[in-house]
Amino acid sequence: MRAAWRATTALRRRLASALFGPAQAVSQLIECTGAHASSTAKPGLAALWQQQVWQSWAAAGTGVPSTKPSSSAAQRLLQLSQQHDTLAAGDFNFHHQLTAGERLARIEMLLQQGVTEETVQRMIERSKGGPYMQSASEGAASLAVLRGRGCSAADMNLLLRCQASIIGRPASNVSDVFAALDDMLQLSRPDILRLCLKQPSLLASDSDKLRQRWPWVQAHYGLSKKAVASLAKSMVNSRRVCALLTYNQDTITARLSGLQRLFELSDAEVSKLFPYLANLLEADPEQHIRPRWDLYQSLLGNFTPADKRRFIMSPESLQLPETTIRSVFSGVEQLMGSTGAAQSLLLRSPKSFGAGIKRLATNLGALQQLYGCSLQQAQQVLLRTSQLSTYVLEAPKFQCRVAALTKWYGHASPAAMLLAPCSGRRVSASLWLLGARMAFVRHLRLERAKPDLNTGKLAETTERFCRSVRVSEEEYAAFEQRWLSSFEAAELCRHEGPAHLRVVGAAGPEP
Ligand SMILES: *[C@@H]1O[C@H](CO)[C@@H](O)[C@H](O)[C@H]1NC(C)=O
């Protein structure tokens, strides 16, 4: 029976790969193919669940319920399931067909457990019949595992719509995947769940394979501990990076060596840039990335090594539709007034391609209307500090930062402040950081009777800032701690997000 099902699954995969290319290559498409239930019964959790159900019935004194009339929804789904079951008598898998009673039991269990009628319908349509699972009780046990990991009803529906096969696995296999992810990634439980919701096919994967794959990736690409932790974190937010766990080894090595050839990177550079390259795993390097890479250079001129790094470090820009790339380029030409200015801005801010032309236009407008720049000055600000071009410059937090910095450094106008050297780094820093340092310098002025004391290193690392005002980092840290909880801080930073705890020496700019 198992062999027969494996044969049909293999057939379906072959069909899918004929239609879409290798299953993993289908970018932008969450793998939503339904797999049929495995037929090896695994008692454990299912039996336990069954037992609990019997016990609760017994405790309620109702005895075992007789089959209650099923809802019209269940009846409708039963019919749908029968219509979708394409196996005809004589088909060599015919023996696997479910009886009407078996179908109904599964459908009713799902509906009772908070799976919506619509989700069950999708499961039936996608897996051509079913819903396939070893038994209603084993299916319920799998759902209990999901709920135990914090899945809401909405999460559960999402998982089953994308990956109906989750419920076709023994519940212990599902909990094994969670345990493997816990051990491998060292993330919080809510983050592990978020990651599974990003890439539901993980919950249909083999936990032993996962446990082998992850150390292999780290060793094969010489990843640092820091890189490994950052990859784990980015998996929570990006399905693309999850490919490191869901693709097979051959695909991963083929994709990465394709990228290495295309970008002309040394092995050491591959290790260093790995967290960015991992975002490109879903795309075939020659087919999808090279045309964009070539297009960028035809528009902007051949990349220097620094340009190359900036584009690799904005992996979204390497996956945009080519028409978007062209239209952003010509839009920027118009907004910036010349081809040269557009090239210079875009080479230094590849993220502008993804942010789009409207963002740039809005920022040019904000620089003129909110910060008093002329059009030429606005263009100049963005050319000098290209990182500003993708920010939301009209946001109140930027207005507050610009006002505070203009006053602090005694500039004649916000425009003058924005055109001054270092303005990009300063405006990028949160007022939690800038404000604490300004307050500290004011405190030193009084204490040391040096009313003119100031520093140009307000937005630099704590180490550099402290060195420039000749104070130990410990003394500053104590002051900062007090300031962060002051009324003045709350007032000044009311438009910033919450203050982030910073490691001494690691205070960096924040977008
Ligand atoms: C469940 O896990 C066992 C043991 O790891 C494995 O042999 C089996 O194929 C898995 N079943 C499914 C449907 O994933």
Convert the pLDDT of each residue in 460-508 to its tens digit.
999 999 999 999 999 999 999 999 999 999 999 999 988 864 543 444 4
- 142 lies in some domain: yes
pLDDT score for 200: 94
Nearest atom, ligand 1, residue 169 CA: 13
Give residue 30's pLDDT band: very low, low, confident or very high (50, 70, 90): very low
- Burial group, residue 165, by CB count within 10 angstroms (0-12, 13-18, 19+): buried
Pocket test for ligand 1, best of 1, 6, 38 (most atoms within 8 A of CB): 38
Residue 314 lies in a domain: no
With a 6 Å cutoff on the Cβ, whether 173 touches ligand 1 is yes
Residue percentage of the chain with pLDDT more than 90:
67
| Res 164: pLDDT | 87
Residue 96 is predicted with a pLDDT of 65
Nearest CA to ligand 1 atom 3: 173
**Residue 30, burial from CB neighbour count under 10 angstroms (0-12, 13-18, 19+):** middle
Instruction: Compute the Cα dihedral for 275, 277, 281, 283 and give only its sign.
Output: positive
Nearest CA to ligand 1 atom 8: 173
Does residue 16 sit within a domain? yes
Is 151 part of any domain? yes
Name the pLDDT band for 293 (thresholds 50, 70, 90): very high
Q: Ligand 1 pocket, 462 CB below 6 A?
A: no
- Say if CB 511 and CB 428 are below 8 A apart: yes
- Cα of 171 vs centre of ligand 1, distance in Å, is 10
Q: Using a 6 Å cutoff on CB, does residue 175 contact ligand 1?
A: no
State whether the beta carbon of 169 lies less than 6 angstroms from ligand 1.
yes
Better-scored residue on pLDDT, 66 or 105: 105
Atom of ligand 1 minimally distant from the CA of 208: 5
Question: 347 C-alpha to center of ligand 1: Å?
Answer: 50
- How far is ligand 1, taken at its centre, from the CA of residue 45, in Å? 14
Q: Is 38 in the pocket of ligand 1 (CB under 6 A)?
A: yes
Please write the tens of the pLDDT for every residue from 334-369.
999 999 999 999 999 999 999 999 999 999 999 999
- 320 by DSSP, 3-state: which? coil
Whether 206 contacts 213, CB under 8 Å: no
The number of distinct structural domains making up the chain is 2
With respect to residue 177, please indicate whether it lies within any of the assigned structural domains.
yes
Domain containing 481 equals: 422-511
How far from each other are the two terminal CA atoms of the chain, in whole angstroms? 57
For residue 173, the CA-to-ligand 1 centroid distance in Å is 6
| pLDDT of 19 higher than 80 | no
Would residue 172 count as lying in a domain? yes
Domain closes at, from 205, 232, 250: 205
Q: Measured in whole angstroms, how far is the alpha carbon of residue 389 from the centre of its chain?
A: 23
Q: Is the pLDDT of residue 327 over 70?
A: yes
3 state DSSP class of 126: helix
Q: From the alpha carbon of 168, which atom of ligand 1 is closest?
A: 13
Q: Which tens digit of pLDDT belongs to each residue from 378-419? A: 999 999 999 899 999 999 999 999 999 999 999 999 999 999
Residue at which a domain ends, from 205, 228, 253: 205
Domain-ending residue, one of 185, 205, 225 = 205
**Ligand 1 centroid vs 46 CA: distance in angstroms?**
15
Which of 39, 169, 174, 208 to mutate for ligand 1's pocket (most ligand atoms within 8 Å of CB)? 169
Q: How far is the CA of 165 from the centre of ligand 1 (A)?
A: 12
Q: Is the CB of 170 under 6 A from ligand 1?
A: yes
Asked, for residue 481, whether it belongs to a domain, the answer is yes
Ligand 1 centre distance from Cα of residue 42 (Å): 10
Asked if residue 31 has pLDDT above 70, the reply is no
> Does the pLDDT of residue 267 top 50, yes or no?
yes
Tally of CB atoms within 10 A around 263: 22
The reported pLDDT for the residue numbered 155 is 94
Q: What are the C-alpha distances in Å from 404 to residues 150, 482, 505?
A: 44, 20, 23
Best mutation site among 2, 40, 206, 209 for ligand 1 pocket (most ligand atoms within 8 Å of CB): 206
Over residues 302-324, mean pLDDT: 96
Q: Which two tokens stand for residue 433?
A: 């950081």
Q: Which residue's CA is minimally distant from atom 2 of ligand 1?
A: 173
What is the distance between the alpha carbons of residues 295 and 291, in angstroms, rounded to a whole number? Answer: 6
Output the CA 10–ligand 1 centroid distance in Å.
Answer: 16
Instruction: Tell me the average pLDDT across 55-61.
Output: 43
Q: How far is the CA of 294 from the centre of ligand 1 (A)?
A: 45
Supply the mean pLDDT for the chain: 84
Residue 300 lies in a domain: no
Q: Whose CA is nearest to atom 12 of ligand 1?
A: 169
Q: What is the C-alpha separation between 351 and 296, in angstroms, rounded? A: 13
Angle at 364 between CA 361 and CA 367, to 5 degrees: 150
